[in-house]
Structure 1
Amino acid sequence: MADDTIRSADVIEADHARVLHSWSAQGSLPPFEIAGGSGCELWDHDGNRYLDFSSQLVFTNMGHGHPRIVEAIAQQAKQLATIAPATANATRAKAARLVLERAPQGFEKVFFSNGGADANENAMRMARLVTGRDKIVSRYRSYHGNTGASIVATGDWRRSSNEYARGHVHVFGPYLYRSEFWATSVEEECERALHHLERVIQAEGPETVAGILLETIPGTAGVMMPPPGYLPGVREIADRYGIVLILDEVMAGFGRTGEWLSLDAYDVRPDLVTFAKGVNSGYVPVGGVMVDGRIAHEFDERVFPGGLTYSGHPLAAAAIVGNLEAMAEEKAVENAATIGRDHLGPALEALADKHDAVGEVRGTGVFWAVELVADRDTREPLAAAKIGAIKKACQERGVVVFPSANRIHMVPPCIVTPDEVARAVDALDAALAAL
């Protein structure tokens, strides 16, 4: 409930005066604050209520204030609030077991990190150590985090002022709507994207390439669904040249796509899988790397030269346990699949039929992007100012969305209901009409 002794304006003023916010010009921060949340709903200190169709940064997969997760954290805090990572801990061990139950067959260990960026950082480190090679191939349309190597592996604009890490090579992935390969069909796009990837590896020298790092489904870059055959094709290329395949499931994993891991929908087995966000719905910072047995055993006698003070923190581990047990018992993954197939997907496709500004709708489960254009024929991206206006219009109608470039991402918690979907899509419909 809202606290009538605190005003939203006071919170915003205090926050903006003292906090340096990420990815932002500090003089133009949005005047928005949140006091509390439950399920898919948020509220501010003035009593305004919102549906959260951003899942914040696409991580509250079980919604806000879930009692099972909150209680797990509280009980762990009472028993043992923190412990060094070298010390064995029952809650950490259980969290690892629950994560590995969702991993591909043959995965044996979990390296815990503080979030998705350092999960990718350590996965790249493992690939380099086990191959003795240096280069990492990733996509231009990607986001892998904001630590030293992860931000350089990222392909979008954010890497350009952070390029301090060595050995990174970028390629274009499949994206038929804006094909880099002059493709006219899904099959052509897939074949040419795979050819492009292999030719880059050949040109760089396969003996220099340690790993291929891909988001299974690129998230912030646009929820770009991999065409049939693409990920198995990448696996074949990796095998051909002895390259470690790392799939980044930080955003797409743990129910977001209507699967436990988004890779479950594709015939592909990576060597390493990175995760964070939905594994404990972001209640305590955590991430990690699921490690295939072959790679894990490389470090049986050899020191793994990576570590974090809070690796496998008991409170984070407890949140993982509470979150994954609740997801299974409440069938949240199944709900996400049903919502995407029967409600959110069809409703967004209907907006494409109704509004000329909608160029393409892409997604699955509770992981959708609406790509907006100024002209359907030329596919010119809608201007940033108009994307900002749509975000604001949705918020004024009580719905928080996730804008990225010329897209509105509709990414609610896995527990969202059909009625909540209808309310959110109505708000987006009205915002598009106001254009």
Structure 2
Amino acid sequence: MADLRGELLDAWRAGVAAVEPARCVLEAVEVADGTVVARGSVVARPRRVVVVAFGKAAPAMARGLAEGLDGLPSTGVVVAPEATAGPWPSIVAGHPVPDAGSVLAGRRVLELAAAAGPDDLLVCCISGGGSALVEVPAEGLELGDLVATTELLLGAGAPIDELNAVRKHLSAVKGGRLAEAARRTTLLTLVLSDVVGDPLDVIASGPTVPDPTTYRDALDVVDRHGLRDRLPGRVVAHLEAGASGLLPETPKRPHPRQTIEVVGNGPRAARAAVERLRRRGITARVVETTLAGEARDVGARVAVARLEVAVGVYAGETTVTVRGDGRGGRNQEAALAAALALEGTDGIFLAAGTDGIDGPTDAAGALVDGGTIARGRAAGLDPYEHLARNDAYAFLAAAGDLVVTGPTGTNVADLWLARPPRPRIR
């Protein structure tokens, strides 16, 4: 079993390597005789390239773009959770909750977009985490209002599309408003997708694409999670005013001169993991790339799902409804639930975030098997209690099953691999 555990972890790493941001951008963009080309299509022959890169993968995407631009004159900014050296100045901003750095970054991004002229090309490199990292509160709102709203929605287990529907209507940069600021120039948007199905209006809250959601949709999300009485009064008043037609809606029409390329996503990572396993002589296939739902429920289901191959590979992003005061993340919670389903069998299950970060912990996720529960119990821990308290981290640490990689520099949501239990011969 130890050898197969190692094979699954190696396959996960191969999946992450396939969505390395610089590599993805370089494959998508090139310059030929001063003309910028994206996947074979001419974008522009610019006097200058203006770059705004934001998200967890922004530093690496920026490095790849700088190499691909082949010396074209350029300026720009890179926004990420940590300081980084790169081709353009960087701003450190908050994630998963926006902070003062996020507002500084948001204002700088809007400034660069508005300054880009008809002879320029604005390139937006967007990746997961961008919603928090770049922010400008809508008129009449303050950063604290947006922080409180984000925290309440995250705590309620709101999926990313619902969370972003609200955030777009509280912001001056999200929901197509960045593209609106760049109306004078040509726009190239490069996306490293961390959202199931690659919905461009959801990834980083869709700053460069039309927003199909409305103020009424945002209020419906708030009410669905029972949060109207808990949100800051200014936020509720703002959403209600918008729903009543007293505020202009988010942009609904596309930028007239924009090219959009999704350069990497979960399915790409999943396919690479399968290829790695097959090269090692292990039968495998991509089973699902639209994982969603409550992490513990989905993890328990996937871990024991029967397959015609040895290993199933999955991509997507689940959610956790926080009920306790423990520590963990969606992948750890899924793994602990999977470990309970696998107890006493020869099954193996790996769940980890491709960004190397799972919740407010130092782990990317966990790699569990039929002996995980016994190892945790030997340390005096009760798996059911830890699951009830959303405290998967402590149990999995005691079992020796956490996967700790550190930040990977990419982000296409989560990548899971499962070897379900083999039928017992009686």
> Which has the higher relative contact order, 1 or 2, with Cα contacts under 8 A spaced 6 or more apart?
1
Scaled by the length of structure 1, the TM-score of the pair is: 0.37
Instruction: From the two aligned structures, give the one with the greater helix fraction.
Output: 1
Scaled by the length of structure 2, the TM-score of the pair is: 0.38
